[in-house]
Amino acid sequence: MRAILVRVAVDHSYGCWNAPVDPSSGRFVYVPIPEKDGTTFLSGLAYGYDRVMPALNEFCEQFSLHPTDRLGFPEPLKKRHMHLDPDFEHLTYGDRGDRRGAGISEMTESDLLVFYSGLRPIRPVKDKLIYAIVGLYVVRDVVLARNVPHDLRYQNAHTRKKEIGDPDIVVRGKPGVSGRLERCIPIGEWRDRAYRVRKDLLKAWDGLSVRDGYIQRSAVPPTYNNSERFYDWFRRQSVKLVNRNN
């Protein structure tokens, strides 16, 4: 078994915003990064940020936040399309198989794709952001995006586009053991001038391929040194996986 840790969702570099999380309950809103300007889509498959507004408003109501400011959601994003990837509703994740996703393109059945995000807490906590696991796929298969049948192209951001990149791949997760976490699992802390996986978790997982658990930003997603040990730890967290984006 192999396991790769992949950063997803809107953040300061991609969207200039971080989605909210309640640090007490772990409830969060999944808000994808924006799509590249100029991207053209198949008919009816251009998804705007209006799709996440109901979830953000519901979050505000649940935690008694001011409902009209949507947690400071950036006005420019409302005019852009979002890159809904991973798509937890369809259990897919797309990437470029020749660059950042080269290792992902080599994954096989029952490998693990672990998704994490930098989320902004709605109440003061130790660090400015909460780095947390937000989803997990047990891999069913990995296919070239251009080989996805036309009637299934709606299932991933890389295949909703009119033009599919030659190296693009799509990972499909196994139903029942894959999905978005109903509550996120915090794993990070600010340490040595960067966000890193907490030392107690590095010990519990037997470490990552990156130095001192660095997860703030990386060109190549880190891998787990001991995937089985991580997965045992993950299952002990008893967090429900759901097949929906919010």
Per residue in 136-148, pLDDT tens? 999 999 999 999 9
Residue type, 232: D
| Whether 181 contacts 240, CB under 8 Å | yes
Q: Is the dihedral of CA 82, 86, 88, 90 positive or negative?
A: positive
Task: Identify whether 245 is part of a domain.
Answer: no
- Cα–Cα nearest to 80, from 53, 51, 103, 49: 49
Task: Identify whether 37 is part of a domain.
Answer: yes
What are the pLDDT digits (tens) for 75-91? 999 999 999 999 999 99
Please count the CA atoms within 13 angstroms of the CA of 168 that sit on its side-chain side.
20
pLDDT band at 68 (very low <50, low <70, confident <90, very high): low
What single-letter DSSP state applies at residue 212? Answer: G
Q: What is the pLDDT of residue 217?
A: 82
Task: Identify whether 182 is part of a domain.
Answer: yes
pTM: 0.97
What are the pLDDT digits (tens) for 85-138? 999 999 999 999 987 788 999 999 999 999 999 999 999 999 999 999 999 999
Task: Identify whether 244 is part of a domain.
Answer: no
| Whether 103 contacts 223, CB under 8 Å | yes
Dihedrals phi, psi of 135, to nearest 5 degrees = -170, 165
Buried b (16+ CB within 10 A) or exposed e, 1-35: bbbbbbbbbbbeeebebbbbbbbeebbbbbbbbbb
Tokens at residue 109, please? 């059945």
Establish whether the linkage from the previous residue to 23 is cis, with ω within 30° of 0.
Answer: no
Rounded Cα–Cα distance for residues 74 and 67 (Å): 15
Task: Identify whether 81 is part of a domain.
Answer: yes
- Cα–Cα nearest to 137, from 182, 86, 99: 86
| Whether 86 contacts 8, CB under 8 Å | yes
With 90 as the cut, is the pLDDT of residue 67 above it?
no
What are the pLDDT digits (tens) for 191-216? 999 999 999 999 999 999 999 999 99
Q: What is the pLDDT of residue 71?
A: 87
Dihedrals phi, psi of 122, to nearest 5 degrees = -85, -10
Mean pLDDT, the chain, whole residue set: 95
Q: How many structural domains compose the chain?
A: 1
Tokens at residue 47, please? 């998804």
With 70 as the cut, is the pLDDT of residue 162 above it?
yes
- Domain enclosing residue 136, as ranges: 3-239
Mean pLDDT of 13-42: 96
SS3 assignment, position 239: coil
Task: Identify whether 246 is part of a domain.
Answer: no
